[in-house]
Structure 1
Amino acid sequence: MKLDRITFIKAAISIGLITLVATRIDLHQIQLEIQHLSIAFIIFALIYYTSCQWLSCWRWRIILQSSGHSIPTCSLLSSYFAGMFLNIFLPGALGGDVYRVYRVAKLTQDSEVALVSVFLERFTGLAALSALALIGLPPAFKSIGQWDIILLLATCAGSLVGAVLLITSPKLLMWFEPLLVKFRLGKILARFTKIQLLLRQFSQHRQALVISVGLSFLLQVAIVYYHYLIAYQLRIYISYLDLLVFVPIVAVISLLPISLGGIGVKEGLWIYLLNHIGVSVEKALLLSLSTTVLGWLLSSFGAVFLFLDFYRSSTATAKQPN
């Protein structure tokens, strides 16, 4: 019941934000601008984004190999797509991750390894995004020069770096221990303690760690370029350095559990950020919606993988003796 209430509130916030944005746009202008997205470009964008997801799965496979488990990248990619599909309907990004843990646990017969591998795959991405946000600070001062944007980026970068330090530093976790206990968050403290132990074990595999972090950094750079390609196709002439500033801001703030999948929040952020460099509301909205809808199109393959997984599970259950 409580979950339903939270989901309803998030949906209401998303609808409210989208409605607010809709009152500020010229629908005729939207129709004119969207024609720049040709079928050929959409196909190219889907292939490009698939390659980004393949990089994520390659990173995930390396993490699993360090624990003694070898799973084909194509199998991990199918579970990744299925997770993307689930995230469309579930609040936050946890639904897809839970499914990915479930799939890998079935393949490895080790639920702890599955959980840690998904966490580490996310964690290395967080570390790379932290570095990207920090790299984006100098261009923010030089190129944009708007103090509200600089403050937003600094806050996001600080939050990411703080999260990384909290996850990796036992001393920092001990410093926060009284505060977590005071607010009855002892379970979170115990989970972080266990995660730190697992991280130390993973850090012993130096080659896997270096490759994983390197792939994470390459992936984040590729995602920024993905936004650049879509923006250029929509005739939004924005520099890569500007996007190096904007993408981490949108990525971090959209993670806040205040709407369904960040819908409404992302659109408002892109309009706010791009308005600082003279981009119209219509073009900013189209950039946000284009990246979202392309992600939905790609995740539709996940529905097929989910159906096949459900079918195989049902068939296996039916064949079991009563």
Structure 2
Amino acid sequence: MEHVRQQGERSSMNEHIPNKDVPRFPWALLIRVLAACALVGFVAYRSDLGRVWNALGQIDLAALGKAMLLYGALQVLSATKWGLILKSQSGPGSNHVPYPRLILFYFMGMFANLFFPSSVGGDALRTVMVSPFAGGMGKGSLSILMERATGFFAMITIGLMASVLIANSVGSQPGTRMDAITTTGALILLGGAVACLVFFTATILFRKMVLIGRVPRWTTDRLRRLLRDFAECLENFGRNSGLLLAVFGVSFVFQLGFVCLTWLIMKASGVELSFVYLCYFHPVLSTISFIPLTPNALGVREVTVTALLAAQGLPNHLALLFCLCTYIVMTTLSLPGALAIVFMKTDLASIARSRRRPPDAPSP
């Protein structure tokens, strides 16, 4: 009888314990989605949608087709750079990634970046797919981090150089000065340069601290192994000076190619701007898009494009048309990645199960 009473008390107590398995409502995501809708609605309200509709029939399809070809080539080039980084940090436990498979992983990441509720969803997917070849999740994630960082460095450098040229051009005309929008964009690029400096400095210090064993005592064994993988990869990356220069060289070629892509999409939209201004426009737009205010910078991108083009005296409907053409190019080229995700879902499930399995557990 006493046993039954105690069991009943425990059952009553368990009723008051919250169920940790009950999913929480994603309030943060909902707020970001509402913010995106509000920003897109604001831009649409400030634009003449009738003129946007009429301009759809005037899209330069030849320029749009060239933009798609160039965008595909740039993604292949970026996958090549990713392969160079993986090669530079190769070590025990890592295997060669076949080049066609690397390109496939990259297109899968393109699709995920566009349609997953985060702009880093594609990076996470690529990390999962490349980790069996790279020698672990730590090495796989570091390869993508370095790919992003070197590309961001090249983009910020090009943007700052373009800002200087624009400032000199404006300053050479008596009684004129840079408008507030262009000046704000230049300050954003300067902030990006500071972020690059902080990142690369912290990376060097981190590598030295981990390699000499100065890791905090509170870190778990798994975290220590992850940090050790990071440090060893950074050490290998730093030793390969030839590959390092090649990676940065490809980064600059890629970013200049993306400026050309922007020019083609602008041409398809009926917008004519100088190449120097586009070297400023692309880095500013990309840097602002990194700010996680809305899913995949939806709305933030449209507001930024509208403001930058309005500063050049262009109407809002052309800014919306440029954004629409950009989505058409990126969505079309991401479709191979969508097909790859569908056909490789078995591989994704297998990798997910291997991550959940304890290190010493036998394979099923």
The TM-score, its normalising length taken from structure 1, stands at: 0.85
Kept in 2: contact 1:124–1:212 (CA 8 A): yes
Q: Alpha carbons of 1:8 and 1:162: their partners in 2 closer, same or farther (altered >3 Å)? A: same
Query: What is the Cα deviation at residue 286 of structure 1?
Result: 0.9
Query: What is the Cα deviation at residue 15 of structure 1?
Result: 0.3
Query: What is the Cα deviation at residue 208 of structure 1?
Result: 0.8
> Is 2:165 aligned against 1:139?
yes
Q: Alpha carbons of 1:113 and 1:38: their partners in 2 closer, same or farther (altered >3 Å)? A: same
Q: Alpha carbons of 1:308 and 1:298: their partners in 2 closer, same or farther (altered >3 Å)? A: same
Aligned counterpart in structure 2 of residue 232 of structure 1, from 263, 267, 270: 267
Could you say which residue in structure 1 is the equivalent of 2:40? Answer: 18
Could you say which residue in structure 2 is the equivalent of 1:179? Answer: none
Alignment of 1:97-246 (within 5 A): 97-143=123-169, 145-170=177-202, 198-246=233-281
Give the letter aligned to residue 11 of structure 1: V
Query: What is the Cα deviation at residue 168 of structure 1?
Result: 1.6
> Is 2:288 aligned against 1:262?
no
Kept in 2: contact 1:250–1:266 (CA 8 A): yes
Aligned counterpart in structure 1 of residue 322 of structure 2, from 283, 287, 292: 287
Greater shift, 190-199 or 12-21, is seen at 190-199
Query: What is the Cα deviation at residue 289 of structure 1?
Result: 2.1
Q: Alpha carbons of 1:214 and 1:164: their partners in 2 closer, same or farther (altered >3 Å)? A: same
Aligned counterparts of 2:351 and 2:239: Cα–Cα separation in 1: 39
Unaligned runs of 5+ in 2: 1-22, 171-176, 207-217, 353-362
Query: What is the Cα deviation at residue 219 of structure 1?
Result: 0.5
Q: Alpha carbons of 1:232 and 1:316: their partners in 2 closer, same or farther (altered >3 Å)? A: closer
SS in 2 for 1:23: helix
For residues 132-154 of structure 1, what are the alpha-carbon distances to aligned partners after superposition, in whole Å with 9 as ceiling and x for unaligned? 12212212314564242343233
Give the letter aligned to residue 243 of structure 1: L
Query: What is the Cα deviation at residue 194 of structure 1?
Result: 7.9
Query: What is the Cα deviation at residue 104 of structure 1?
Result: 0.5
Give the letter aligned to residue 148 of structure 1: A
Q: Alpha carbons of 1:170 and 1:261: their partners in 2 closer, same or farther (altered >3 Å)? A: closer
For residues 81-106 of structure 1, what are the alpha-carbon distances to aligned partners after superposition, in whole Å with 9 as ceiling and x for unaligned? 11121222333322111110111013
Greater shift, 165-174 or 208-217, is seen at 165-174
Aligned counterparts of 2:321 and 2:42: Cα–Cα separation in 1: 15
Q: Alpha carbons of 1:312 and 1:116: their partners in 2 closer, same or farther (altered >3 Å)? A: closer
Greater shift, 231-240 or 205-214, is seen at 231-240
Kept in 2: contact 1:267–1:288 (CA 8 A): yes
SS in 2 for 1:257: coil
Query: What is the Cα deviation at residue 118 of structure 1?
Result: 1.0
Could you say which residue in structure 1 is the equivalent of 2:64? Answer: 42
Aligned counterpart in structure 2 of residue 66 of structure 1, from 73, 88, 105: 88
Q: Which has the larger Rg?
A: 2
For residues 222-278 of structure 1, what are the alpha-carbon distances to aligned partners after superposition, in whole Å with 9 as ceiling and x for unaligned? 101111111122221111111111111111111101011111111111111111111
Query: What is the Cα deviation at residue 158 of structure 1?
Result: 2.1
> Is 2:111 aligned against 1:85?
yes
The TM-score, its normalising length taken from structure 2, stands at: 0.76
Kept in 2: contact 1:168–1:196 (CA 8 A): no
Query: What is the Cα deviation at residue 314 of structure 1?
Result: 6.4
- Equivalenced residues, count: 307
Query: What is the Cα deviation at residue 42 of structure 1?
Result: 3.3
> Is 2:78 aligned against 1:56?
yes
Kept in 2: contact 1:61–1:70 (CA 8 A): no
Query: What is the Cα deviation at residue 162 of structure 1?
Result: 1.7
Q: Alpha carbons of 1:152 and 1:92: their partners in 2 closer, same or farther (altered >3 Å)? A: farther
Could you say which residue in structure 2 is the equivalent of 1:95? Answer: 121
Aligned-CA RMSD value: 3.0
Kept in 1: contact 2:89–2:233 (CA 8 A): no
Query: What is the Cα deviation at residue 315 of structure 1?
Result: 9.3
Could you say which residue in structure 1 is the equivalent of 2:215? Answer: none
